[in-house]
Chains A and B, each alone.
Chain A
């Protein structure tokens, strides 16, 4: 099972790479072109979700998560091995951020490990939390590339590193026979079923994700969950309560390293894209107002209400998981969770501790 791929373009300089070989091998019958630019059929907004372009990297692959100004961020490092996503979520920021017309796989991704070593050397004794899920779904292309399967053992050779693989898919099979030694966290973006159905086109239902999470846990992985974006709609309270119940139908207290809560937010420029690409979507009809960073987000009391409610539901089932807010101010933290990490550094310390505290 994988997302359908109809065309593969390989940059001449990436032609001999192992990832190119793997992708071609796993896509028998799919036309392969060698070219310096991807050939893409003009599709929706000029993007093609079924074309893969394998290319040498441009610039650094390991970066600090850009986060957002004026709010507390989780402070992790992002490894951009793939950019673009075959899923088509209404709220996805990549619709605005990416200017490549297809799914881009960086052929020389192993160079990122050198960058990781440099980072570790710069901060000896510190935990380095990194993830591949910023500009892509960490596992959406795994059935094609085996990149996570290749990456995990290499990261594990570095005792300071903790890797988080964030996904909405169920593609964990390639990882199940690797011992994660408590330092790889498989994370799922989770949401109320109504949001999954209406706004996460191409993504599996919540229960399928949770079944995959349970499988990952049985294989020894710790689990991360991200309620992001929390969306307000009639009956959201009960729906999110049901989602929390579903989580603990599949996982036990102690299985989960962390749960993040983040409310719907996006730059104003994405509003027009959502309205154009998803004319029936109710997301832009929420009470979204400009935040301190200029992004549109629910009016603060509405966000706080959602955080309080979902946090309460989680705490009824789980007293241990580290629950944190994604891109919120210390004031919102205090009024929603009754505490605040104070700053990005403070939250990063909490999550570093949670990452290694099995």
Chain B
């Protein structure tokens, strides 16, 4: 290993064999280097005059942002360090100071696989270090996330999309993934809603044997016809398509409620999934007189066909 000044133009930026850093915080690092200089030189592997980053990828990016042309770095020759040693230096140094974000974790797992480690060794040896459950089933999914395009990995690193969403996107073909990603960006769903979105889209497309782009295009059209924020409407459309009988029953219930023209202060609810044929009627009254009137109204309400039908909205009203 020797210390030397290396032109930044000779750094193999796209070669992510050992480095996995991704995500925000680059501004702070850039500002720090500008103020006090580079305190810890990056480590590079000299491969025939091109330099592969072992450690310090973010520092190098910061230098590039600052318009520097050279970097003072520690240089390893290929005969001085094995690929696994190089990877380990970066991984363990990073782990000592911070938790890796999901995009970095998945990339690190892919690098280990590329280095020839068996899935069993990776699962037992590295999953715990990354805070992942020691289950081989997840391995392939994480590996596939590491192959997502940079734009998606950057969003994963920044927490704008969840690991579950990334896993789902990774299961899709390229054109499906592009359309899902476009939809997600447009819907700007919260992290919590993304999980539901991915599950709904996956389930409906498999059940109905519909392609994801076709499904999302039709959901988008339906959502645009509704009032309110696009993401919330789109999610509601997806829920209704996933649970069509439940949605129909809910619509029928609402129709009957409207038909009842409930007096002010009256509220009728039922089990959210209609599992129990019970209605809960709430009314508010202040004073004895109002209370008496409410009871009279309630008694009248109970005799209405629509009220009876609320319990069984699938049935037709009896003829009078």
Contact = CB atoms under 8 A, between A and B. Distances in A.
Interface of A: 45, 276, 282, 284-285, 287, 289-292, 299-302, 329, 331
Which of A289, A291, A292, A302 gathers most chain B CB within 10 Å?
A289
A299 B276 contact: no
B207 A299 contact: no
Nearest to A271: B199
Given A276-B137, A301-B314, A289 B273 contact: yes
B249 A301 contact: yes
Contact of B245 (A45, A285, A287): A287
B177 to A, nearest CB: 18
B125 to A, nearest CB: 15
Contacts of A45: 135, 137
B246 interface: yes
B243 A289 contact: yes
A136 B173 CA distance: 41
Which of A300, A302, A331 gathers most chain B CB within 10 Å?
A300
B277 A299 contact: no
B206 A299 contact: no
Contacts of A285: 203, 206-207
Given A287-B246, A289-B243, A300 B206 contact: no
Contacts of B249: 299, 301
Given A276-B137, A284-B203, A285-B206, A292 B276 contact: yes
20 contacts: A45-B135, A45-B137, A276-B137, A282-B207, A287-B242, A287-B243, A287-B244, A287-B246, A289-B273, A290-B273, A291-B273, A291-B275, A292-B271, A299-B243, A299-B245, A299-B249, A299-B274, A301-B249, A302-B245, A329-B276
Nearest to B278: A331
B277 to A, nearest CB: 5
Interface residues of B, number: 18
Contacts of A302: 245
Contacts of A292: 271, 275-276
Interface string B224-254: 0000000000000000001111100100000
Given A276-B137, A285-B207, A300 B314 contact: no
Given A329-B276, A331-B277, A301 B245 contact: yes
B203 A289 contact: no
Nearest to A334: B277
Contacts of B276: 292, 329, 331
Nearest to B203: A285
Interface string B179-207: 00000000000000000000000010011
Given A287-B245, A300-B275, 5 more contacts: A45-B135, A285-B207, A299-B249, A301-B249, A302-B245
A300 B273 contact: yes
Interface string B267-286: 00001011111000000000
A190 to B, nearest CB: 25
A289 B246 contact: yes
A292 B275 CA distance: 7
A302 B274 CA distance: 12
A261 B103 CA distance: 48
A335 to B, nearest CB: 8
Contacts of A276: 137
A276 B133 CA distance: 14
A287 B242 CA distance: 7
Interface string B213-230: 000000000000000000
A285 B207 CA distance: 6
Contacts of B137: 45, 276
Which of A284, A299, A331 gathers most chain B CB within 10 Å?
A299
A276 B276 CA distance: 32
A302 B243 CA distance: 11
Contacts of B207: 282, 285
B203 A299 contact: no
A156 B311 CA distance: 48
Nearest to A298: B245
Nearest to B242: A287
Interface in B51-93: none
Contacts of B275: 289, 291-292, 300, 329
Contacts of A287: 242-246
Contacts of B277: 331
B312 to A, nearest CB: 8
Nearest to A331: B277
A325 to B, nearest CB: 14
Nearest to A71: B275
Interface in B292-320: 314
B142 to A, nearest CB: 14
Nearest to B246: A299
A228 B313 CA distance: 28
Contacts of B245: 287, 299, 301-302
Q: Which 3 A-B pairs have the closest CB atoms?
A: A289-B273, A285-B207, A331-B277
Nearest to B138: A276
A299 B274 CA distance: 8
Interface string B20-34: 000000000000000
A78 B273 CA distance: 32
A300 B274 CA distance: 7
